[in-house]
Amino acid sequence: MGTESGNLLSPAAQSPVAEQMLSQPRLQPYLDAADNDMQRAVELYRWNQRLTGVVLKHSSDVEIAVRNALDAQLVILCHNEFGMEDWIGPESDSTPEEIYGLLRKGIQEARVHALAESRHRPKDHPRYRCAPNRDDVLAQLTFGTWDLLLGADLASGMQDAIQQRLWSQGLCKAFPNGRQDDEGRRRIAVRLKRIRKLRNRAAHAENLLRVEPEKRLTDMLSVLSAISKEFSTWSMQASPYRAIVKERP
């Protein structure tokens, strides 16, 4: 059925439908934030859905820009430091051991997923029956690949000597407008980790009631600006992000 204006539910009628459709546990954080006012809780839920949409859009901008920037520098680094033409590919020996040791799980999964995707292409696909290439594998790497590559798990006690070395050997050039010393690496990594956590919450339709969306937007724009000032401007072009944040019931 459609959602024509004559079929819209009144605000009062939305509450029992929302409780039945969404479940009490999912609604509870919104009820807590709305002092148990069901109508306002539903309004918060609707707002959360709008915020989720723009969070996914902006975090996607960051993921794509960071992936492309780091990929370009990793290719150069591998040629200069390891004598290899590339750093990623479908073959098991296509990644230098130092990088593979750091990103082993993510690279393995990316290769498996890239192969599976290649086998499920429809007959009218331009690459039907084509084996996966390096770009297919690259596209399957998760967001977490990039903050791990820069050392964002330092809080867990993880040693980051490899990340420090890779940064000084050339990964710092992926962020030419940011600090090029090791503190610059740590700052980018921490921002990426926060952005990834926010993106994951949004992707799983979790509530964003306590995520400080303006600060997370600052994280996203700061990372983009560190790559290119124009990237942050492009990302915000006609973006309703700040307007939606202000609309919180």
Enter the pTM of the model. 0.91
Q: Could you say which residues of the chain have pLDDT below 50?
A: 1-2, 5
DSSP calls for the chain: ----GGGPPPHHHHHHHHHHHH-HHHHHHHHHHTTT-HHHHHHHHHHHHHHHHHHHHHHHHHHHHHHHHHHHHHHHHHHHHH--S-S--SSTTSS-HHHHHHHHHHHHHHHHHHHHHHHT--TTSTTTTPPP-HHHHHHHS-THHHHHHHTTTGGGT---HHHHHHHHHTGGGGSTTS--SHHHHHHHHHHHHHHHHHHHHHHTT---TTS-HHHHHHHHHHHHHHH-HHHHHHHHTT--HHHHHHT--
The per-residue pLDDT for 6 is 56
The per-residue pLDDT for 157 is 52
The per-residue pLDDT for 59 is 98
